[in-house]
Structure 1
Amino acid sequence: MVDAMAAPDEPRDDAESPEQTPADAPEEVKADAAAADGSSEHFHAARLGDDVGDRPRKDAPDPKEAAEPDDVIHQPEDVSPDSSEELPGKTQRVDAEGDEAPIDAEDTQKKRAALVYNPTKVEPETLRARVAELAAGADWAEPLFYETTVDDLGDDATRAALDEKVDAVLVAGGDGTVRAVAEALTSTGVPLTIVPSGTGNLLARNLNLPLTDTDAMIRATFEGDVHAIDTGIARIRRADGEIEEHGFSVMAGMGLDAAMIQNTRDDLKKQVGWVAYVDGAARSLVGAKPFRVMYQLNGHRLHSAKVHSVLFANCGALQGGVALIPDASIVDGRIDVAVLQPTGVLGWLGVWRSIVWDNSVLRKFRAGRRVLERRKDTSVRYLRGTGIELATAPAQPIELDGDEFGEATRIYTRIVPGGLAIALPKGHDVSTL
């Protein structure tokens, strides 16, 4: 676990100067600011009671304990499942032919892998057969196969596989399936193999994995390299006071980015892939309004700002080669934060220029970086630290790795350094991670 109250980490771009709590700030936020009185220690204690830094409240489940099969943190009811509505809502294991198999597997003296897959995003028969064939070629036991269901995005299935003492887990599905499986594997030491499939493949893209070579990734399970990467934890507080913890591999967000995902049409997403998010963005921008937040990096002072969105990143690349946070690293033990606070149409043009042009083009060249050093633009503000907590009222939509997770009034995100073991093709270049 990361020490949430570790020594201060300076933001890359110093956060806006502390200011008096605005008159239009929500009453809950005003109470937070009054309790803080300029002290980060009092800020944490006043806002979350016993939930100071990484010390969970008595009513908040500990992440390690929550990984046990009998004490599972389930997805909130308002989360749209990343699986077929026709599938039963339970952990489901099948055999190599796709027929239902007992949840308890037979013992074996050989190494064994488990494949967790979303049957709506892959060709199950082909994938199961290839994983079984390559496992046999490596002298491993027959793999265990788990299909995601309405109520199990993959985390319960992964915990069932861990109960069987598997030596590796493969995941095939959308970003939501990868997120759920990675959450269950965090801090276990069991390697995860990502078989690219689905719409985004954001974690695979940030790891520079071959997106079209399924065999290369399956082989990595049995003969590849294992590399430790960071993973994220988000502690979410709902408007009714309920607290949940969930993992994320790429990024979490509150505000407009989550609304954009909520407004993305499922049918369009199936037809054109990630480009469908452009439609969601256009429809979200029509009614987009800024909202007041209080935020604090671990070890830093409390700040107030009006924002449209706040993004918490473990790694920074999006689809289409867009570098949302170009300096974010998946192996540095730090969380990178992008605060979007545009003003008017020109402000949104500044956001577009910063993300699409500055980060994805200019930063690649020395002359471009010199231009950026002289430019002053507050439309997007970048921060970095070991963790950050944010409070707002009323509740705002949130997302984790591109999946909507309802609404929350507070979110605390942190990084687990080296918390996830990833299987990579032999000799895969990790120098750019």
Structure 2
Amino acid sequence: MNFSDGISGLEWLAIIALVLAFIVLWHLILRALAHARHRQEEISAINSRRNDPAEYAFIVNPSKPGAQQITEHILAFCRAQGVPKPLVIETQLDKDGEACAQEAIARGAQVIVAVGGDGTVRTVAAGVEGTNHPLAVIPIGTANLFARNLGIPLKLDDALRVALSHGSRRVDMGCMSLPDSHRAKDRHGHGFLLISGIGFDATMMATTDPRLKGRMGWLAYGVTGMKHLFDRKQIGTIAITDRDGDVHTFRDVQFRTFLVGNCGAIPMVSLMPEADYSDGLLDFELLDTDGGIIGWANLAQDLFYQTIWGRSGKRLGSVGSTVDHMQGTHAEIWLNHSAYAEVDGDLLSQTKHVSIEVHHRSLIVRVPRKPAQFGVSTSTSQSVSKSEQ
């Protein structure tokens, strides 16, 4: 008598589910242990860093809770570290982080420090990009995805130690432009550091109540997204230029959302596991669903599969969902109907035409690792420039 003769089909399913659950749990435990070990190494590296007595400018988003107290703490911390009194420039409705960064550089600042959430960091980075001035980040936002992806500490004093000391790496920036827009800024392009998109993701951001986001953080987008699960799909033509310069054109493509990533990780999910901040490539991912709520459920499982196994693509046997992934340096999208676009969660206009490109290693960022690991000079902007030329 075979062992399997005494086990029903449902029991086999239960055993398989239990084994899969154990594999997932073991994977998560290993990731947590690795993160804790990495965190301990980061703290040790931060404490051993040498202060850089450069001219600093802190660009602060005053709308963030406790921004005034944080600014006072920053100034006191600089005094205690013997760092020259820094400039403090606040963003305003008519002066974003990009304009503030340009002003800071014009006033002689050598290191530009963004104090805010991902939106503030993105606009400040746009003003620093290509200048050979290092960008530092003090994350005080809701998600702080850029800081998390680069390992920049979320604790204020640890982040300040990284900002005020030697140790940088070069990273890529993406740029999304809307060629048909009446706004000059849209046509010129919006820099981004994280993940941008067209379609469902941008619609969620356009329709999410800011008060709900203030209470729930990123979960607010999920609540709002439920209302748009069965909106009309996007239809259009997508042309992607790969690393070798070859253009791949896809016509009459239907999709829920088209994502472009400079990094791939958001809370709890890795949308683009192969994404790398410094590879000179952007990761493009087209997501689609069919079959009603079942298709969305399968898409969620596919994204979870990516997160667990660290590679893009669908699960074996997955139906009703599409996860198409490609890397490249440039993409053009022409839509049959206007759709919302977004960069790093900041909403842009509705558009039918989007152009996206990568700016390779165009931004210097202070990070909490030993500079030798990244091949970047440990000094301020002037000598960084020499080492990179």
TM-score, length basis structure 1: 0.68
Aligned partner of 2:194 in structure 1 is 250
Aligned partner of 1:173 in structure 2 is 116
> How far has the Cα of 1:407 moved from its partner?
1.1
- Aligned pair count? 313
Structure 2 CA distance, aligned partners of 1:281 and 1:330? 28
Aligned partner of 1:67 in structure 2 is none
Aligned partner of 2:50 in structure 1 is none
1:128 aligns with 2:71: yes
Q: 1:263·1:284 contact (CA, 8 Å) conserved in 2?
A: no
The 1:122–1:426 alpha-carbon spacing in structure 2 relative to 1, beyond 3 Å, is farther
> How far has the Cα of 1:210 moved from its partner?
2.0
Which secondary structure does the structure 1 equivalent of 2:139 belong to? coil
Aligned partner of 2:127 in structure 1 is 184
Aligned partner of 1:269 in structure 2 is 213
Structure 1 CA distance, aligned partners of 2:80 and 2:182? 53
Which secondary structure does the structure 2 equivalent of 1:410 belong to? strand
Q: 2:173·2:193 contact (CA, 8 Å) conserved in 1?
A: yes
1:233 aligns with 2:179: no
Which secondary structure does the structure 2 equivalent of 1:141 belong to? coil
> How far has the Cα of 1:250 moved from its partner?
0.4
Structure 2 CA distance, aligned partners of 1:195 and 1:176? 13
Q: 1:342·1:380 contact (CA, 8 Å) conserved in 2?
A: no
Structure 2 CA distance, aligned partners of 1:237 and 1:226? 34
Structure 2 CA distance, aligned partners of 1:275 and 1:210? 23
Residue correspondence of structure 1 range 28-47 to structure 2 within 5 A:
none
Aligned partner of 1:352 in structure 2 is 300
Which secondary structure does the structure 2 equivalent of 1:172 belong to? strand
1:343 aligns with 2:290: yes
1:217 aligns with 2:165: no
Q: 1:397·1:408 contact (CA, 8 Å) conserved in 2?
A: yes
Q: 1:237·1:409 contact (CA, 8 Å) conserved in 2?
A: no
Q: 1:331·1:418 contact (CA, 8 Å) conserved in 2?
A: yes
Which secondary structure does the structure 1 equivalent of 2:188 belong to? strand
Aligned partner of 1:322 in structure 2 is 269
Structure 1 CA distance, aligned partners of 2:120 and 2:177? 19
Which secondary structure does the structure 2 equivalent of 1:160 belong to? helix
Q: 1:217·1:424 contact (CA, 8 Å) conserved in 2?
A: no
Aligned residue type for 1:318: I
RMSD value over aligned CA atoms?
2.4
Structure 2 CA distance, aligned partners of 1:349 and 1:429? 44
Q: Residue 283 of structure 1 is aligned with which of 227, 233, 254?
A: 227
Structure 1, unaligned runs of 5 or more:
1-109
Residue correspondence of structure 1 range 75-154 to structure 2 within 5 A:
111-154=54-97
Which secondary structure does the structure 1 equivalent of 2:120 belong to? helix
Aligned residue type for 1:347: G
Residue correspondence of structure 1 range 300-315 to structure 2 within 5 A:
300-304=247-251, 305-315=253-263
Aligned residue type for 1:296: A
1:227-256: per-residue Cα shift (whole Å, max 9, x none)? 111111112123559623110010211111
The 1:219–1:235 alpha-carbon spacing in structure 2 relative to 1, beyond 3 Å, is same
Q: Residue 419 of structure 1 is aligned with which of 357, 362, 372?
A: 362
1:131-190: per-residue Cα shift (whole Å, max 9, x none)? 223333444321111111112231111110010121111112222111110111111111
Which secondary structure does the structure 1 equivalent of 2:127 belong to? helix
Structure 2 CA distance, aligned partners of 1:122 and 1:250? 23
> How far has the Cα of 1:373 moved from its partner?
7.7
> How far has the Cα of 1:344 moved from its partner?
2.5
Structure 1 CA distance, aligned partners of 2:194 and 2:275? 10
The 1:153–1:430 alpha-carbon spacing in structure 2 relative to 1, beyond 3 Å, is farther
Structure 2 CA distance, aligned partners of 1:353 and 1:125? 43
Q: 1:350·1:379 contact (CA, 8 Å) conserved in 2?
A: no
Structure 1 CA distance, aligned partners of 2:182 and 2:69? 45
1:393 aligns with 2:341: no
Structure 2 CA distance, aligned partners of 1:160 and 1:227? 23
Q: 2:306·2:312 contact (CA, 8 Å) conserved in 1?
A: no
Which of 1 and 2 has greater Rg? 2
Q: Residue 333 of structure 1 is aligned with which of 280, 284, 308?
A: 280
1:286-319: per-residue Cα shift (whole Å, max 9, x none)? 5x11121111111223212011110011000112
Structure 2 CA distance, aligned partners of 1:208 and 1:411? 31
Which secondary structure does the structure 2 equivalent of 1:230 belong to? strand
The 1:373–1:289 alpha-carbon spacing in structure 2 relative to 1, beyond 3 Å, is closer
The 1:334–1:218 alpha-carbon spacing in structure 2 relative to 1, beyond 3 Å, is same
Structure 2 CA distance, aligned partners of 1:353 and 1:428? 38
More helix by share: 2
Aligned partner of 2:36 in structure 1 is none
Aligned residue type for 2:296: W
The 1:261–1:399 alpha-carbon spacing in structure 2 relative to 1, beyond 3 Å, is same
Which secondary structure does the structure 1 equivalent of 2:143 belong to? coil
The 1:294–1:393 alpha-carbon spacing in structure 2 relative to 1, beyond 3 Å, is same
Aligned partner of 1:52 in structure 2 is none
The 1:301–1:271 alpha-carbon spacing in structure 2 relative to 1, beyond 3 Å, is closer
The 1:138–1:310 alpha-carbon spacing in structure 2 relative to 1, beyond 3 Å, is same
TM-score, length basis structure 2: 0.75
Aligned residue type for 1:343: D
Q: 1:224·1:426 contact (CA, 8 Å) conserved in 2?
A: no
